[in-house]
Chain A
């Protein structure tokens, strides 16, 4: 098991290298001139002279490779430069906003699991009866509903009409409910379908037949054998959901004025604040990759076929 984790950690190095190159290139090869953005954000008139000085100062007249190495070298020491807008260290700025986003995404992920697993199982166990129809209708509704639209609806009903929940900002649980629900709805719906499908598949295997023939109670057959086998695809999906939630957070944070890193990133994109964008993208990728590593570890823990594959069969 330790061997497995170590191998996966080694794999992180090439992944992060590739991603850093991509992040750097995509932003640099865009149509905009960072020096121009820098001057605009510093409210300096973009004369030719000023542009030349800014290029010199930002290192933009060096070859692209040198620029990348400079940036990557400093990034390795966790120095992502200064924001063009606030002139403060980018990383400190982002880390200031990050906890709010992690809170929102984490609660949404928890909500996803707590709602989708029981609903998916309930739906599969009552296939073609009313619980199944209802859950499937719900899942269909959830997949088709964009999160920003869901957010607007929730605000209209629960804040404007009923005055039950605060429409914006961060605070106690009541502030979290609506953003988390609109963010999680998509993952919940996808997960329900996934769990339902894998439960139905696992309910009719020969190993379940033999489990019944051995005299196991229905509770054990479903609660232990069908459940554990059905969890395997769900674990893979969680890795995907993390990406979905982080991406969705950018939108949902803007709607609910949630003071998270997503809202900060959106404003930095409007401003073309290059150091912030680069650091944000890299950070999101690191979080995503680490979560997927965690998922792979869970995956190996639950499925011996994966765990033992590296060690060779006896």
Chain B
């Protein structure tokens, strides 16, 4: 059971919708697997196609792009099939997006966002109100009710990022797609959130697709790592192996840049 796959991508190619795939591919030949209870890390330079890969999983690519090749199998159903995606999105696979400030509707309160999402997935808001409060408290919000009544533009990026995490927790998703989930957080909250994701991964058997620039986040959470470069996966290995013996030049450069910044050996940090 624990090694069943929640997400498997095979030979994914994303290209501009109105041009031939061969010369407009932004992402090509990406294959990856996320297992229940495991985290797959995705690292790579800015613009290497990490976010596009995440969006393709949810079938949320922008209109001018499309999946020109390959397939995405999400929780035993292929994306693009007749499977009603709105039953999977949010309920079974949640996403934490980049730039949280722009992701909320400014004319509705944070509480409205949470409640409408619960309602969309047939969860009774009145019955769950205490769970909402306790989840927010768990994420470090001392006054949950104030947060619920606030409008998105009154909160910081880090706070909104935690609201996104709270939705994933509330809906008890099977797959969490986290696109740079900790960029806007201070280290204390960051470590708390990572601890929480780690716990869910183990206790609730949740699979995680973790996109980040931060190698220490990878070291803490991920089981497998894929390195993306210019739209392709150039290296993929278990995390300990990747840190100890990077194969590709680009990966080596990435690692040594990190070491020169933080001056520590990451392989010591990798969990067993």
Contact = CB atoms under 8 A, between A and B. Distances in A.
A, B from the same assembly: yes
Given A209-B60, A210-B97, A217 B103 contact: no
Contacts of B104: 207, 210
Interface of A: 204-207, 209-218, 220, 224-225, 228-229, 232, 302-305, 308, 313-314
Contacts of A213: 58, 60, 89-90, 94-95, 97
9 contacts: A204-B62, A212-B60, A214-B113, A214-B167, A215-B88, A216-B86, A217-B86, A304-B153, A305-B107
B105 interface: yes
Contacts of B99: 206
Nearest 5 Cβ contacts at the A-B interface: A215-B90, A210-B103, A215-B89, A206-B102, A214-B90
Given A207-B103, A214-B89, A215-B121, A304 B60 contact: no
A302 B107 CA distance: 7
Given A207-B103, A207-B105, A305-B106, 4 more contacts: A207-B106, A213-B58, A215-B91, A302-B107
B89 A228 contact: no
Interface string B23-62: 0000000000000000000000000000000010010101
Interface residues of B, number: 34
Given A215-B90, A225-B105, A305-B106, A314 B120 contact: no
Contacts of A302: 107
B117 interface: yes
Interface string B112-131: 01001100110000000000
B91 to A, nearest CB: 5
Nearest to B153: A305
A314 B109 CA distance: 14
Nearest to A205: B102
Given A215-B91, A216-B116, A304 B86 contact: no
A225 B152 CA distance: 14
B150 interface: yes
B106 A214 contact: no
Contacts of A207: 102-106
B250 interface: no
A61 B164 CA distance: 75
Contacts of B103: 206-207, 209-210
B102 A304 contact: no
Given A214-B117, A229-B107, A314 B89 contact: no
A220 B120 contact: yes
